[in-house]
Chain A
Amino acid sequence: MLDIAKIEWLKIRSYSAFWWVLGITAVAYPGLNGIILMIYHKAMGTMNLPEQKARLMMGDPFGFNEVWHTVGYFSSWFIFIPAILVIMLMTNEYSFRTHRQNIIDGWTRKQFLTGKLLDVGIVTLLIVVFYLLACVVIGLKNITVGERTSGSQVYFIAYFTLQTFSQLSIAFLISFLVRNTAISLTVFIVGFLVLEPILGRILKVGGTGIEHFLPFEISNRLIPPPGFWGHLDPASYQLSMNQAGNHAGYTIVFTTILWFFCFRLNSRRDL
C-alpha cells in the first residue's frame, strides 16, 4: 500500500494543474466561508437588535461548537472544485494510456485502482484540512470573551470527511466510466446541481422518502442546514439532525458498493 502511495505521489508531485486546482481549493474553502460569515454579520447588523437578542434568534453558527456544522454545510456546496482534481487524476491515465502501461509494467488491476482510491483519500484529507483551518480561523474570530465553548458538534468533522469522500468517489466513478475530463466534470456538475435536485423533487411527490437515497443526497443529509435555519422550522431541523447518524451508515454502504463496483468492473473489462 505504501509503495502504491509513493508511486501515486510521483505522478502527482510534478503535475502543475493539480497544484493550481489545489491552490484554488485552498483559497476557495476559507474564502467562501468568509463571505458567508460577512453576510451573516451584515444580517445581524440589520436586525437592529442588541447582539445578545440577535444571537438568541439566530444562534451562534460561527462560534465554537456550531462552526464545525456551519462551515461543513457551506463547504459541501463547493465539492465540484476538488472533484476536478479527482477527475483529472483518473482521466489523465486514460489520455496518456498509462492505465494500460501501469498494468503492462506489472501492477495488478487491483493495485492500479487502489492507487486511485488513495488519490481520492488524499484529496479528501486535503479538503478536510482546508475545512478545519476555515473552522478554526472563523471560530477564533467569533469567539466572545468569557463565552463557554462546547465540543458537542465536533462529530461534524467526521461527517464532513465521510461526505467529501463519498461525493469525490462519485466524481471518480464518473471519470472511471466516461474517460474524458470535460465530459466527466459536466456530468458531475449537472448531476450535482441540476439532475439530482430535479429528481429529488419528483420523487418527493410519492412521499416514500426515497429521494433521501439519491447519490449525493444520501451524504448531503449527513450535514443538514445549520442551526439558524432550524429556527424557521425547528421540527424539521431536529428530524434531519436525528437522521444524520443513520445517513452515516447509508453513506458508508453506498460508497463501499461504489468502490466494489469499480474494482469488479476494472478486473473484468478491457483496458
Chain B
Amino acid sequence: MTVLELKNIHKSFGDTKALKGVSFEIPAGSIFGILGPNGSGKTTLLGIMLDVLKADSGSFTWFDEPEGENPRKRIGTLLETPNFYHYLSATSNLEITRRISKRGAREDVEHVLRKVQLYERRKSRFSSYSLGMKQRLAIGAALLGTPSVLVLDEPTNGLDPEGIAEVRELIADLNEQGHTIIIASHLLDEVEKVCTHVAILKNGDLLSCGSVKEILADEDWVELSAKNLPALNAAMSQYPGLLHHRIEQTLVLAAFAKDAVDLEAVNEFCYRQGVKLTHMLLRKQRLEARFFELIQK
C-alpha cells in the first residue's frame, strides 16, 4: 500500500525551477528519507505535500483517497521551525492543534505534554520557552492522537545529543508500531541510521529513489592504495568493467557493478601495470558516499 504518491511535480519561484517533474511513491510502514543539499527542493516538496505551497503542475495523493477528504488530519508534522501562537500556553497551543486536526481526545494533550516533559511548564507562554522546549512542544503536537504518518523536517535541529538520541528512538518506536515516517534531512548519518527508503534530490531533480538497500546495493567499492597514487589512478582507468573511480586522500576508490569485482584480478592487473598495491579492501558502501556520488554526477 502507498501512503503518498507524487506525480510529475513541477514548481518554480520566478526563474528558479525548484522542482522538475518529481515523481515517487512512499510505501506504508516505511521510514522515508528525503535527502539533498541546500536548495535541492526538499522543503519545497514537503510544502507541496502539506498544501502550504501550490505545485505549478503535477499531482499528489495521500492514502489513495479522493481529494476533499483532507488527509492532513491523519498526518503529524514537525517542521524545522516550530509554529505556535507565542502568547498562548503549551496547553492552549496543543488544544488548537487537537481541534484542527481532530486527532486525539482532550486528555491526550496532558499525556503528550508529560511525554515531551513539558507538563510542569504547560501554563507558560510559548514565547518563554527555550529552543529545545519549543522543539519538544512541536514533537508533542506531531504525536497528538498518534497519527498514521509523521512528516519531520530536520527533526533533530536545535536538540542536544540526548534529544537527538530520543528522537531517533521515537522514530524507531513509532515505525515499529506501523506508522509511516517521512524525514527531510541533510544529516546523512542520521538518515542512514533510521531510514528504510530514501529519495535523493539535487537542484529540483530526483536523482535516485528506492529502499536504502537498493540504492546502496548496485555498486561495490574497493579501496586501493600504492606508493605512486597517480600511477595507480591511471592504471585503474584502464581496468575493464570498472564503473568509475576517484582519488580520495591517500586512496583510489574504484566502483564495480554489484558482485562483479575479483580482488585477485585487480591485484594482478595493477602489478602488470607496474603498480604495487599497499592496501586493498572491499568496503560496504555508505549512504553518505552514494549520496555524494549521485550529487556530483
Contact = CB atoms under 8 A, between A and B. Distances in A.
Interface of A: 3, 6-7, 10-11, 14-17, 92, 95-98, 100-109, 268-271
A253 B292 CA distance: 59
Given A10-B95, A271-B52, A102 B100 contact: yes
Contact of A16 (B77, B87, B102): B87
Given A7-B96, A107-B100, A108-B70, A100 B54 contact: no
A37 B75 CA distance: 58
Interface residues of B, number: 30
B50 A98 contact: no
B83 interface: yes
A268 B83 contact: no
B292 to A, nearest CB: 31
Given A10-B92, A97-B83, A270 B100 contact: no
Given A106-B70, A106-B101, A270 B54 contact: yes
The 5 A-B residue pairs with the shortest CB-CB distance, nearest first, are A106-B73, A101-B83, A97-B83, A105-B100, A106-B101
Interface in B128-170: 141
A106 B92 CA distance: 17
A109 to B, nearest CB: 7
Given A101-B79, A104-B50, 11 more contacts: A3-B99, A6-B99, A7-B99, A11-B96, A15-B85, A103-B50, A104-B52, A104-B79, A105-B77, A106-B100, A106-B101
B92 A103 contact: no
B95 to A, nearest CB: 6
B52 A270 contact: yes
B72 interface: yes
Contacts of A95: 86
B221 interface: no
Contacts of A10: 88, 92, 95-96, 99
Given A14-B92, A96-B84, A98-B85, A104 B72 contact: yes
A109 B86 contact: no
Contacts of B75: 106
Contacts of A102: 100
B257 interface: no
Nearest to B97: A105
30 contacts: A7-B100, A10-B95, A10-B99, A14-B87, A14-B89, A15-B85, A16-B87, A92-B85, A95-B86, A97-B81, A97-B83, A98-B83, A98-B84, A100-B52, A101-B84, A102-B100, A103-B51, A103-B72, A104-B50, A104-B51, A105-B97, A105-B100, A105-B101, A106-B72, A106-B73, A106-B75, A108-B70, A269-B54, A270-B47, A271-B53
Nearest to A115: B100
Contacts of B54: 268-270
Nearest to A16: B87
A22 to B, nearest CB: 15
Query: Which interface residue of A95, A97, A106, A268 has the most chain B CB atoms within 10 A?
Result: A106
A104 B81 CA distance: 13
B76 to A, nearest CB: 9
B208 to A, nearest CB: 27
A98 B87 CA distance: 12
Query: Which interface residue of B73, B88, B95 has the most chain A CB atoms within 10 A?
Result: B88
Query: Which interface residue of B72, B81, B96, B101 has the most chain A CB atoms within 10 A?
Result: B96
Nearest to A17: B87
Interface in B172-198: none
Nearest to A112: B100
Contacts of B51: 103-104, 109
Contacts of B85: 11, 15, 92, 96, 98
Contacts of B86: 95-96
A11 B85 CA distance: 8
Contact of B83 (A96, A107, A108, A109): A96
A100 B84 CA distance: 10
A270 B13 CA distance: 10
A119 to B, nearest CB: 14
Contacts of B92: 10, 14
Contacts of B99: 3, 6-7, 10
B151 to A, nearest CB: 8
A3 B54 CA distance: 26
